[in-house]
């Protein structure tokens, strides 16, 4: 099911235990949360469905690459087997919503580039894990994306995040814009594969990769990321904070989140995330496996393959992650019982001191463990093979072609 009549309210069983508690805080937002747990992406789902019905699933990469090429010629659409609804979709998303203002996004760009290492560190050690600690983790565990291709999936997430902050990245045909649409189409393909299996419990979980979970993930990558980044040394103004939220709001729109559930500002994002924390069930074994897979995959994208060095970095990432998420969440995710006393305070002090010293001595080379961690963040290790529009062709990662 992709759409829901306003008169209906079917609460998935996973959300029933604390539904009344959430309603006491804000019934309207809670009901909106539940309605959108049944809503996916009717437009892109229909595109994927048509390609499959026409036997073009394995040619979808070539078709998407043609349509998303700024120089593509409409006259060649027939030659490339482009469905009319795909061309209509691309033309529609080239028109920005009236609330998008590129000048207002500039402070968000500045914030990212000034704090990129802190924001990426926060993404890897906290907000990515928060986003996948919801029932959305069931999709990743079912398909085996983290189990079989965890490093590649992390690299793709990092590349997408970085691409959003390139100059003009969200304008039509720019890299961030293309990667957002690529991700959106991949979500639809995964839903198609799940729909044609007997592996999903719609009554319990709602739709796979539903609109509410995409909203939570977008809030995790925006609001939660800069909140965590501040704890380890990021510095930004309120204007930059709100601009950063607006940038991710537009990214969420491109990812197919309906405006009926897409946050308008940081206050709305915070409120929605807090309600989600009530409604979402505690992490189960899929969430636990996904969260720990992220941490164990992280050293590999730094290029750390030596077993001893990798385990040392895994331990340090566990400590940072526990400090940022808090002991309660870390224990639910079955993290090792490492001490984090004073870790964030030391991190802020060390990074503040480094900035101060480097103002007077640009060649100063700090050797602290945390600064070393920031220095090896994988900005330059993200694979550089161009934008590929390959789609998974099997539900299980072990049996799908590389994408």
* Cβ proximity of 315 and 335 under 8 Å: no
pTM score, whole prediction: 0.87
Tokens read off for 360: 């007077």
For 30-91, the three-class secondary structure string (H helix, E strand, C coil) is HHHHHHHCCCCCHHHHHHHHHHHHCCCHHHHHHHHHHHCCCCCCHHHCCCCCCCHHHHHHHH
Length of the chain: 403
End-to-end CA distance of the chain: 27
* Residue 369 phi, psi (nearest 5): -60, -40
Task: Determine the number of helices (DSSP H) and then strands (DSSP E) in the chain.
Answer: 20, 0
Q: What is the pLDDT of residue 139?
A: 87
* Cβ proximity of 224 and 234 under 8 Å: no
Q: What is the pLDDT of residue 379?
A: 46
Q: What is the pLDDT of residue 77?
A: 76
pLDDT along the chain (403 residues), means of 10: 58 96 97 97 95 86 83 74 90 94 93 88 91 85 62 75 86 92 92 89 95 96 95 92 96 97 97 96 89 84 80 90 94 93 81 58 58 51 54 58 55
> Which candidate, 270, 93, 299, places its Cα nearest to that of 181?
93
> Which candidate, 352, 41, 103, places its Cα nearest to that of 246?
103
Tokens read off for 219: 């809030």
Using CA atoms, how far apart are residues 347 and 349, in angstroms rounded to an integer?
5
Tokens read off for 178: 């293309």
> Which candidate, 38, 12, 20, 36, places its Cα nearest to that of 278?
20
Using CA atoms, how far apart are residues 180 and 177, in angstroms rounded to an integer?
5
Using CA atoms, how far apart are residues 312 and 22, in angstroms rounded to an integer?
41
Neighbours of 288 (CB within 10 A): 17
Q: What is the pLDDT of residue 126?
A: 94
Using CA atoms, how far apart are residues 170 and 102, in angstroms rounded to an integer?
9
* Cβ proximity of 182 and 384 under 8 Å: no
According to DSSP, residue 126 is labeled I
Q: What is the pLDDT of residue 388?
A: 62
Only one residue has tokens 């291709």, namely: 149
Tokens read off for 193: 């594969």
């Amino acid at each position: 099911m992709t759409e829901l009549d306003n008169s209906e309210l079917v609460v998935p069983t996973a959300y029933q235990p604390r539904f009344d508690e959430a309603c006491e805080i804000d019934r309207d937002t809670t009901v909106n949360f539940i309605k959108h747990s049944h809503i996916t992406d009717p437009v892109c789902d229909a595109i994927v469905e048509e390609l499959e019905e026409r036997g073009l699933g394995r040619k979808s990469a070539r078709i998407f690459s043609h349509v998303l090429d700024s120089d593509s010629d409409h006259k060649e659409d027939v030659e490339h087997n482009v469905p009319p609804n795909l061309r209509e979709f691309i033309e529609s998303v080239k028109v920005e919503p009236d609330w998008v203002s590129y000048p207002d996004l500039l402070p968000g760009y500045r914030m990212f580039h000034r704090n990129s290492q802190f924001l990426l560190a926060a993404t890897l050690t906290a907000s990515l894990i928060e986003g996948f600690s919801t029932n959305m983790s069931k999709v990743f565990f079912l398909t085996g994306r983290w189990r079989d291709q965890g490093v590649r999936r992390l690299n793709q997430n990092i590349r997408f995040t970085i691409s959003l902050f390139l100059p003009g990245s969200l304008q039509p045909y720019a890299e961030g814009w293309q990667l957002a649409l690529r991700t959106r189409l991949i979500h639809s393909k995964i839903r198609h594969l799940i729909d044609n299996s007997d592996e999903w419990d719609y009554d319990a979980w709602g739709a796979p990769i539903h609109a509410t979970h995409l909203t939570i993930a977008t809030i995790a990558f925006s609001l939660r990321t800069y909140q965590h980044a501040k704890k380890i040394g990021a510095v930004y103004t309120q204007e930059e904070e709100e601009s950063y939220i607006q940038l991710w709001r537009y990214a969420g729109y491109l990812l197919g989140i309906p405006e009926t559930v897409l946050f308008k500002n940081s206050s709305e994002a915070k409120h929605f995330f807090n309600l989600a924390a009530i409604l979402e069930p505690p992490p189960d074994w899929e969430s636990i496996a996904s969260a720990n897979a992220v941490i164990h995959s992280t050293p590999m994208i730094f290029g750390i393959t030596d077993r001893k060095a990798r385990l040392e970095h895994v331990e340090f990432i566990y400590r940072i992650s526990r400090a940022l998420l808090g002991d309660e969440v870390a224990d639910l995710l079955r993290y090792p019982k490492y001490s984090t006393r004073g870790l964030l305070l030391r991190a802020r002090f060390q990074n503040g001191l480094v900035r101060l010293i480097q103002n007077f001595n640009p060649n100063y080379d700090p050797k602290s463990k945390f600064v070393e961690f920031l220095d090896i963040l994988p900005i330059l290790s993200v694979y550089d093979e161009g934008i590929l529009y390959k789609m998974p062709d099997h539900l299980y990662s072990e049996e799908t072609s590389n994408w």
